Chain A
Amino acid sequence: MKDAALGKDLVGLEDLTAEQITAILDTAEAFKEVSERPIKKVPALRGKTIVNLFFEASTRTRISFEFAEKRLSADTVNVATQGSSVSKGETLVDTARNLEAMRIDMVVIRHHASGAAKFLGERIRSNVINAGDGKHEHPTQGLLDLLTLRDRFGKIAGLKVAICGDVLHSRVARSNIWGLTKLGAQVAVCGPPTLLPSGLADLGVTVMHRIDDAIQWADALNILRLQLERMEGGFVPSLREYNRIFGVSRERLARAKRDVVIMHPGPMNRGVEIDSDVADGPNSVILSQVTNGVAVRMAVLYLLAGGSPDWRSQAPDDR
């Protein structure tokens, strides 16, 4: 399993091999059961100090990480700050050094600047987990999306997954592209050209502009949230137009040849990129994604802390 060992940090899926990704998914699969117990705890990370350092507001990701940490018996501290480090006064470098001086074991960081997780990881000895850095990557989201697909289809290789919406500004999309291509899936993106970044074809991704094409082609759609700022930035003329042309609706899905699995990283803009009857419909795995999120984060924290992937064979703690 040595090739599957992770480094000090989890910055992105671009840096991982297929073996490493598979090891995380397998470990996560085993951790799922912990969340189903009446007493949702294992002692795996007891005594470890973990800081959730969130420079961007986030409820769901932070809570998901917090549950993962607490279910592993770690001690957690949440630090939420707004605004850029420049306006706040304390630089990211100083924040990093302060954390290290407090002998923190692990830092989960979400930051508005691409590269912030790597920046932090280069400067402190603690493990650094990227919970989303700017537009760069959101690796645990990519991993939980992979786990959800694997649960549903039994495999990733050969699957056709279309990532729909604002790929240009999406770290979730980038992590998914890396994870899916490394595990052998076929990846497409679908959206207006104004929301698709350049160079995707060089990464082996098919580019589509019509949502019907994506629906016809894909086994699963991963529908990205369209942020209000995109309209203000002139990327799309209006949310109404976006919904009419690019929104995933029951009528459009009905024209598909097969049941297309529906995913969304959340939070959803119902009526914009996804209609309610699709989000709540029979082929939606959106809530499974959330459940898998806690397990994936437990796996990542555990493996980075040096845990062996076969933790279950270790002697149980009676407490």
Chain B
Amino acid sequence: MNSLLISGGRVIDPSRGTDGIADVYIIDGKIEAVGRNITVPPEVPRVNAVGKVVAPGFVDVHVHLREPGQEHMETIATGAMSAVAGGFTGVCAMPNTDPVIDNQAAVGFVLRQAIRAGKARVYPIGCISVGQKGQQLAEFGEMVGAGAVAVSDDGKPVVSSQLMRTALEYAKTFGIPVADHCEDPTLAHGGAMHEGLVATRLGLKGIPSAAEEIMVARDIILAELTGGHVHLCHMSTRGSVELIRRAKEKGLRVTAEATPHHFSLTHERCQGYDTNAKMNPPLREAADREAIRHALKDGTIDCIATDHAPHHYDTKQREFDDAPNGIVGLETALGIGIRELVEPGLLSLPGLIAKMSTVPAQVFRLPGGTLAVGAPADVVVLDPGRRWTVRADDLHSKSTNSPYLGEALTGQAEVTVVGGRIVFDRGVAKPDA
């Protein structure tokens, strides 16, 4: 039988509220036991986690893996590798590939590629509409049957309120969330960054916060009307946070995510026309960043999701207006989370881990995010104190479009286990005595 013992680490399991030194014993891909000084047969391989933190593997509900169709930027294999290097044992793959994932065959393809890669689990998200054209519902049932865990037209907003309503109602049949990219296309059209003083100085067309907030309000109203579960992607404004807070007070089935870049950077980062500061929704003002951080602290925003969006170097080496939106984020998420949320005291380390593993798994009703006995053995051993510098050559993603290149971060995954198998080992060399 296949077993593994992760011993001596500080085991933090937000799903059970535990935090203490313990061993984690895995047999046949499942958690067998968590406790102190577990006796195991001597031939069981061990991971020495003394001085490290052992947690449920992170789950990222919003990544772009670019396969099929855009394999020059990333493949499912390279994206899944980048994920485990970042401590993620599960990622949800957005369907805006080429062709898009709007049918059961495409869903099956994504799953198969992930299994072949043998790194992070990949949970495909299917399109809301056929071709992401915003007109006709895709076959939610067949896609779910093939392995889809949610539906989204991300990349694009669902412009038609009627379609969004229908999607929310129909999705109830299968118990899946409908994830929306909230953007009013007429307000946002042609915009390259947040509408504000920096855009005025740079001579770039701005996207007002209202473009996001209008759709957030609409989606909340439709969630109330239908009783469906709407999940709001990559929230970026303080107005959106306010709307979500009130929706949750009313008990509506509204969940939300925020990216590390939206709780760490502002539109000032666009000075000098750095295309690694260009994403959608854009980086906003300091007050918006503050609101996102506090929303993560008080639970208004449920979880952290990276919106990992690889782009080839050539495409980002362009005039700001012409450059595509997005940055990679799987390998910097933990470090940014520690720097921006844990160090300033907004979240404890267990709190951050919860937002990156337990909560996202719960929101999307996925297995994982827990070290309970019988749960799949998706575990990350991380060193929350490890200082490292973000270097393009060290990133495992095929693309390196990150605004954090050259920055020193603290906190990195050392060993990542999926289904009881070690799929990533940073192999930190011990210094010579």
> A residues bordering B, Cβ < 8 Å?
14, 84-86, 91-93, 111, 113-116, 118-119, 133-137, 171, 174, 197-200, 202-203
Contacts and interface: CB of A to CB of B under 8 A. Distances in A.
B405 to A, nearest CB: 16
Contact of B202 (A92, A136, A203): A136
Nearest to B204: A114
A115 B200 contact: no
A204 to B, nearest CB: 12
Nearest to A86: B322
B206 A198 contact: yes
A124 to B, nearest CB: 14
A219 B195 CA distance: 32
Contacts of A198: 195-197, 199-200, 206
A14 B202 CA distance: 10
Interface stretch (B102-110, B144-152, B312-320): B312-320
A113 B200 contact: no
B272 interface: yes
Contacts of B206: 198
Given A85-B319, A91-B317, A174 B197 contact: no
Interface in B307-354: 314, 317-322
Nearest to B317: A93
* Residue of A115, A137, A171, A200 ringed by the most chain B CB atoms within 10 A: A115
A111 B197 contact: no
The 8 A-B residue pairs whose C-beta atoms are closest, nearest first, are A199-B197, A136-B203, A113-B319, A115-B273, A135-B203, A114-B203, A197-B200, A199-B200
Interface residues of B, number: 21
Contacts of B197: 198-199, 202-203
Contacts, number: 70
Contacts of A115: 202-204, 273, 319-321
B124 to A, nearest CB: 31
Contacts of A119: 273, 319
A174 B203 contact: yes
A220 to B, nearest CB: 23
A202 B285 CA distance: 15
B319 A200 contact: no
A200 B200 contact: yes
Contacts of A114: 202-204, 273, 319-321
20 contacts: A14-B201, A86-B318, A86-B322, A113-B319, A113-B321, A113-B322, A114-B203, A114-B204, A114-B273, A114-B320, A115-B203, A118-B273, A119-B273, A133-B203, A137-B203, A171-B203, A199-B196, A199-B197, A199-B200, A199-B201
Given A14-B201, A199-B197, A113 B317 contact: no
Contacts of B199: 197-198
